[in-house]
Structure 1
C-alpha cells in the first residue's frame, strides 16, 4: 500500500425524478410475460457527505459522523472481524449501515490495516427521500477503496454499498446507490439481475423544492402491498400495477429523457403531474391506507404556488413523506419555500440540479 496520509471524500445524495418502484419490479423480469425492465431517472444532489479518511495500523474502523445540523456522533470503533461487523449490521440503527458495508469489504478483500473515517460535514438532510443511508454506505466503500487502492470502479463502490445496506434490516432497492455517481443525472435500467447505468445530459438546471410533509408514512407497508402483485398478477389491480411499472413507465421516462436533453422544463413538469396521477390511479388502490396521501396532494395542488411551479410529485416510495416540486426558476424556487413555510408550516429544501462539472464523470 502506498504511504497515504489522508484522502478527502464527497458523496452526494440522490433524488428519483421518475420510475420509483421499478427497480424491484424490474428484477422480476423473466418470471412473467407482463414484466419488462424497470427504468428510473435519478439525479445527484449538490448536498452530501464530506469526509476525510486515513489508514490505521490496528484493524479497526473508527468513525465519527456529523449530521446536517452540525451534531457529531462518535467516534465509534468496530473491529474489522466479519462476525462482529455482521452482528452490528443486523442489529439495526445508524451504524448498521457502516458495519454492513465494512463487513462486505472485509469478506471480499484482505485489508492490511484499519481505517479512520471522519464525516466532518453533512449538508444532506436525513430521512428526506434523498438516500442518506445509501450515501453513508457509499462513503464507507469509497473510503476503503481510496485508502487501500482496491481498484473498485464507481459501479464497484455502488455494488459494495448495496450489499452492505441489504445486510441491515433496511432492504433497499439498487436505485438508492446511484449517489455513488455524484452530481450527475443517470438512467438506471433493471433487467432481471442485470443493472445498467447510463449518464445523462441535462441541458438546463432544474430548480426543485423538496418539502418535508411532516406526516407519517410506512415504506415497509407500501412495499408489502405493491409487491404482492409480483411476479404473477392475480387481479385486475395487479395487472394495472404491472402496466404502471412497465410500459407506462417506459413511455414517461422516454419523454422525460428527451425533455431533459432539450431543456424543456415545462414538459418535464407536465410529466411529473401525469406520473403522479397514474400512480394514484393504478398503485393507490393497492395500498389506500398509505397512498391516499392527503398531505402530499394538498401541497401539490396548493393554489398559492401553482403559478410558480411546472409540476410536482411524490418522492421515493410515495405516500405522505416528501414532495418534490419543479419550479419555474430560482426566484420562484425561493418563493415556493417561503409560501409553504409561512402558510403550512412545512420545511422546504431548495435543490438545484446543474449540468455536470468537469470531472464529475469519473
Structure 2
C-alpha cells in the first residue's frame, strides 16, 4: 500500500499548520526512499524546507516522523508518537538556491538518536555535538539548544498533540552558561541578537557581550542551576578493599561543568546526580561530609567547605587531587579524547 493510500491525518495536520504560516509557498521536500523499519538509513519520513525572508533571510526546516503521521500506533491518546517534530531556522545567503545537506543530515542524526535511545527532546533541553554542528566547517557553534518554535504553536491532530521544537546552534561557552543556569533564560537574554533564534554559522559567542555575560552571571547566582542530572561518560568510582582512599573519576572535558554545577546546585540546597556507564554518583548537602555506597550508587554528602573545595578541584587538567581536610577522598581527572566520525582522535583535553 502506498503512502498516498494510507490515512495521513497526522501528516496533513502538520501541512495545515505550515500553510497558515507560509500560504501557498511550495516547500522543498526531502523524503525517505526506504523506510527505516525496512532497513533504510534515515529514520524520518521526510523534511520540508521553506524559504523565509523576515526578520532576515533564512531556511526553515520542519521534520515529519517523530509524530504519528498515519494511523495511531502508540497507547497514549494525548500525544502523537513522541509528541513533537523538530524545526531548524538557518541563515540563508543570497547565493543559496538549495538548503545545505548538512542540516538535513543533522536532523536525521537526531532522529537516529531518539529512535535508538527512546530519549525525547523538550523545550529547555541542550545537547553537546562534540564538534561543529556543520561538519567540516569552521563554525564555533558546537552544541544545540531546544526551544518552542516561536511561530509554530503546538497542534492537536487526530493522533494526539504535536509540539514544534526548534534547534538553536550555540557555542561551547553558551552551553556551559545554560548548564549552570537554564537554557531558556540564556536564550531569552540572547534573543535580541538572534531573532527567531535563527542559527548563523558565522556568529561568535554572544557571551562576549558584557550585558549578556552579566545577565547570565546574575541569573545563575540568584537562581542556581536547573541541571539536576548529567550523563558523564568517563565517570567511575574507585573503592579499594582497605577503604583507604575512595576516588571519584571524571573526564577532563566535563570536569569544569561538574564543578560549576556543584556550586550552582548544592549552595542552593539541591542535589546533583552524575550518571556514568557503570555507576551513579549523587551529591547532597549535609551537616557532616560522608560517603555512602549502595551497589552501583554512590552518595556524597558534603558540607559547604567540602563542596567548595571539590568545585575548585574540578578543572580540565588531568591529575589526582586530594582534599587536605578530607584524606579519605580524592578526585582523579583523566584526559578526554575527542574523535571524529571514523574514531580518529582529533583533540585531547587535559
TM-score by length of 2: 0.29
More strand by share: 2
Higher relative contact order (CA 8 A, sep 6+): 1
The TM-score with structure 1 as length reference comes to 0.28
**Higher share in helix:** 1
Which of the two has higher C-alpha Rg? 2
